[in-house]
Amino acid sequence: MAPRLLYSIYMVVELAGNVEEQLQELAERQGRDVSVLVEEAVREYLIAAAITDLAAEEVAATQDALVGELRELPAWKGGGA
């Protein structure tokens, strides 16, 4: 059973007119609510920011942590592009 929300939080987001129009058009094309699109976009932005927003001293440690994932990739068979 999903947890019940005891309260709701609302936020007002002010967008430039042309951005709001584009968002409305996208929502209509996809058959989705504008609020759902905005929530999804903000969530994706925060995920991307969390991945890329590193302090200089964190870069090396992050690269080291990701090297393990690269080891599973097949060897590169070079050649001119």
Q: Tens digit of pLDDT for each residue in 29-72? A: 999 998 898 889 888 888 887 777 677 777 777 777 777 766 66
Residue 16 phi/psi, 5-degree rounding, is -60, 150
pLDDT digits (tens, 9 = 90+) for 9-37: 777 888 888 888 998 999 999 999 988 98
Coil, helix or strand at residue 78: coil
* Structural tokens at position 36: 């759902």
Q: Check: CB of residue 45 under 8 Å from CB of residue 39.
A: no
For the chain, which residues make up each domain, given as ranges?
Answer: 17-70
Q: How far is it, in rounded angstroms, from Cα 25 to Cα 19?
A: 10
Q: How far is it, in rounded angstroms, from Cα 31 to Cα 27?
A: 6
